[in-house]
Amino acid sequence: MILIGLGANLPSVNGPPRRTLEIALTRLRARGVVIVACSHWYETAPVPVSDQPWYVNAVARVETQLDPVSLLSCLHDIERGFGRIRTVVNAPRAIDLDLLAYDDRVEAGPPHLPHPRLNDRAFVLLPLRDVAPDWIDPRTGVSLATLLARLSPDQDTRRLP
């Protein structure tokens, strides 16, 4: 199972964050990536806590013939198409596409698989539950349900209509 995280908290040339991410899914499809399922959209407070605008986040389960390195390159290319320039860590952004997991691979990277910080982030785990409720972290063998139960309660997250 291949999982991609989507997030944004600034508008892009294509409009507000959710619209940008919807277009990003279309661009993935145009590159031959099959979107098997996409989670609900979530509005989430920035992590770490800051005065940035809240994010819109989702997780997509996909299928592709691309290997992890090529898929990550594709994600970065799509980000650049929306004007993403990587500056400092945790900076506000018009788009963020992360390769969260690629089957049961555990790799030190790049890309790091599974994504090294996904286990602690409600903005990843809640939408992940929508598309892969039985997911188990191949690094640790810990179930998604357990990871969700361990989340810090201070991560504000709301499912959008």
Residue ranges and CATH numbers for the domains of the chain are 2-159 (3.30.70.560)
The pLDDT tens digits for 130-147 are 999 999 999 999 999 999
- Per-residue confidence (pLDDT) for residue 2, from 0 to 100: 98
C-alpha–C-alpha distance, residues 82 and 77, integer Å = 9
- Per-residue confidence (pLDDT) for residue 83, from 0 to 100: 80
Cβ distance 112 to 99 under 8 Å?
no
CA distances from 102 to 32, 57, 64, 67, 95 (A): 16, 19, 10, 9, 21
Whether the predicted model's global pTM rises above the 0.75 cut: yes
pLDDT bucket at 26, cuts 50 / 70 / 90: very high
- Per-residue confidence (pLDDT) for residue 152, from 0 to 100: 87
Token pair 């309660």 in the structure block, residue: 153
C-alpha–C-alpha distance, residues 105 and 139, integer Å = 8
| CA-closest candidate to residue 68, choices 25, 128, 108, 16 | 108
The pLDDT tens digits for 66-116 are 999 999 999 999 998 988 676 666 667 889 999 999 999 999 978 999 999
